[in-house]
Amino acid sequence: DTGVSQDPRHKITKRGQNVTFRCDPISEHNRLYWYRQTLGQGPEFLTYFQNEAQLEKSRLLSDRFSAERPKGSFSTLEIQRTEQGDSAMYLCASSLAQGRVNNEQFFGPGTRLTVL
């Protein structure tokens, strides 16, 4: 296992279409995060899983966004009825939680979404 992988790397879609991204974390990592990053900005937190439980979701995240991690392994992020403002890089990260210790996150290469 060489790291966090994300698929696809690039996605171009038309406004109004649904898109789904996949993230495969480092196998032994129990925490998984989704972020959105736009040009000139830092990663913006979207949601976070501990194993299969979604424990936190950003209030900035509209109802068009949903994420799952059904078996505590890979995760999917779906955006319904995409809008041009959704165009961004979507980053996935994973970490190994040890009690209350927040270990460093390992990031994937991201999925670049372009909404036309």
Q: List interacting residues with other proteins (CB under 8 A).
A: 33, 35, 40-45, 48, 55-56, 58, 89, 91, 93, 100-110
Cα–Cα separations (whole angstroms), residue 42 to 19, 34, 45, 70, 91: 23, 13, 9, 28, 11
CB of 105 to other proteins, least distance (A): 7
CB of 81 to other proteins, least distance (A): 26
Single-letter amino acid, residue 9: R
CB of 15 to other proteins, least distance (A): 25
Tokens of 105: 């996150």
Q: Within 10 Å of residue 32's Cβ, how many Cβ atoms?
A: 28
Quick one: 82 or 111, whose CB is closer to other proteins? 111
Quick one: 18 or 103, whose CB is closer to other proteins? 103
Quick one: 12 or 55, whose CB is closer to other proteins? 55
